[in-house]
Chain A
């Protein structure tokens, strides 16, 4: 039924190698606060395999992604686990040349990114197909430290045929299952609501797959809406969704998920997302757009200024806090 899949397994599920790596990973609760520029310079290397937290336009680490583009990272691998605006940003920088695809190129109901499409259609990216649950469970397997998880998806389809999954028979029931190999990304970028300087993180709202992404990745860079004191973490330990020992760098970036939605903080800036899609219609215009919004913008606060600054952000806060009450300030 089309299995084993014929595409490349970019990241083999070598759990013993992962254990050796995690054995050497620091457990010390030291301060990890740094800047986006420094964190990306130190921890994201050309050729690395990258995972991105959140969900496409929701709680995405935009500031970190811009930094990856600005520093000219190339030949990255990308986990396309509902990669929408994040995929669009990395495609704008021509940063990746291989991709585990569950969802890429599109921005859900907003339409398809012409530039991201171009990169895939011109064959500049090696593709292996999966589904959202398949990638979610691949992260889960890695987080658990096992080489694969069995599941009941993808079976019988071209998605499986063009994946790198295998098929197994259940030793207990005899039913057919897909075996999803553990995915250990080299580096994960995750945006959270609050973190302390050690990397203990709190997230409000849905977690998507970030519990597992943070545990599966070898290195984790966290951007946080705000840094809180360690005492705040200890006051509500049940709120800690990512413990410090998973995290290698912490960056404070207010509005760090813009132009995406960060729950209970600010809604997505649909005007700006439309501006991206519009600019992409013409490659020359888009090159200029990327130059002016990313390459010639020194840092994320400057980008926010360029997109309307505090005035616009306040409107997005209102949209988030008073949904259905129309757009903008009353």
Chain B
């Protein structure tokens, strides 16, 4: 991506875009890194009543700094509750959790994720951690989001292993498998574009492209044929006020947003 004289970097843009999707008064389970930064930014801008949860049991912390682990003491610092993993997962299963953010080494056009292995599962070339809480959160939360760097090795036609459910094989598949109705992938935010999912085919499609990004760039970074929504608009760049909060309050040590 050409960066001319832009006053923000790709990570800052992705975090700002993600933050704007989080509705005020909703609940979100986040991990460390960019998703946590997005939730913290949303709390300081458009969603002051956003309730942040961590899968190991932290509920509603006043995050003093970025957690390093989703179970470290930051995740319940001055929190509303220091609970248990079942407490969080059962809130998800009851239907009380609106959003979650996930990542993975591979994602396919239905938003299914692989975080288990590269190569054959029986004899993996790379063994990765596995599901962790990802499968649970993607199965149970209403809307699953991703913030992910996009390239053809990560956005693939076929996963080596489907760790975590997106829309599985397409329309009706989640319901047929027994996953709770009305759940599934919502947005995928990359350094190039924001993807949603076509309501009919449930395939990933470009909704916005970031300033300076072309369709060719998106296609070149996608290992499957990306869809295009009827009206592809340009992503709204970060406001100066968003950047100020992100840099001064959310990530002052620039762990996530980097130094570029």
Contacts and interface: CB of A to CB of B under 8 A. Distances in A.
Interface of A: 1, 54-58, 80, 82, 84, 101-106, 108-110, 112, 117, 120-121, 123, 129-134, 136-137, 140, 151-159, 162, 167, 175-178, 204-209, 211-212, 261, 263-264, 267-268, 270, 320, 323-324
Interface string B39-57: 0000000000000000111
B27 interface: no
29 contacts: A56-B71, A57-B72, A112-B129, A117-B126, A120-B127, A121-B126, A129-B131, A130-B131, A132-B85, A132-B131, A132-B132, A132-B136, A134-B136, A140-B86, A151-B93, A153-B135, A154-B139, A156-B173, A157-B112, A157-B163, A158-B121, A159-B163, A167-B178, A205-B82, A208-B57, A264-B73, A268-B68, A268-B72, A323-B64
Give 8 closest A-B pairs by Cβ, nearest first. Answer: A176-B178, A156-B177, A55-B71, A206-B57, A133-B136, A106-B129, A103-B132, A120-B127
A297 to B, nearest CB: 25
Interface residues of B, number: 59
Given A133-B136, A162-B121, A108 B68 contact: yes
Contact of A268 (B69, B125, B135, B177): B69
A136 B175 CA distance: 24
A104 B5 CA distance: 42
B69 A131 contact: no
A267 B73 contact: yes
B171 interface: no
B89 A211 contact: no
A117 B260 CA distance: 32
B179 A156 contact: yes
Given A152-B139, A208-B57, A261 B72 contact: yes
A157 B116 CA distance: 12
Nearest to B178: A176
Interface of B: 31-33, 55-58, 64-65, 68-77, 82-86, 89, 93, 112, 116, 121-136, 139-140, 161-165, 168, 173-174, 176-180
B176 to A, nearest CB: 7
Given A108-B32, A136-B85, A261-B69, A1 B130 contact: no
Contact of A323 (B77, B84, B116, B178): B77
Contacts of A263: 73, 76, 82
A108 to B, nearest CB: 5
Contacts of A129: 116, 130-131
A82 B64 contact: no
A324 B71 contact: no
Nearest to B32: A109
Contact of A155 (B85, B129, B165): B165
A157 B135 contact: yes
B254 to A, nearest CB: 14
Contacts of A140: 86
B166 to A, nearest CB: 10
Given A105-B130, A156-B165, A324-B64, 11 more contacts: A56-B69, A105-B128, A131-B130, A131-B131, A131-B133, A140-B86, A156-B168, A156-B174, A159-B135, A175-B178, A212-B86
A313 to B, nearest CB: 16
Contacts of A151: 93
Contacts of A162: 121
B205 to A, nearest CB: 22
B124 A132 contact: no
A194 B228 CA distance: 58
Nearest to A117: B127
B33 A109 contact: yes
Nearest to A261: B72
Nearest to A134: B136
B213 to A, nearest CB: 27
A110 B71 contact: no
A129 B93 CA distance: 20
A140 B86 CA distance: 9
A123 B112 CA distance: 26
B160 to A, nearest CB: 9
Contacts of B136: 131-134, 153
A208 B130 contact: no
Nearest to A265: B73
Contacts of B164: 157, 159
Given A133-B85, A153-B139, A162-B121, A208 B56 contact: yes
B132 A177 contact: no
B128 A209 contact: no
Contacts of A154: 131, 135, 139
A101 B130 contact: yes
Contacts of B134: 131
A176 B32 contact: no
Given A58-B72, A156-B178, A157-B135, A136 B89 contact: yes
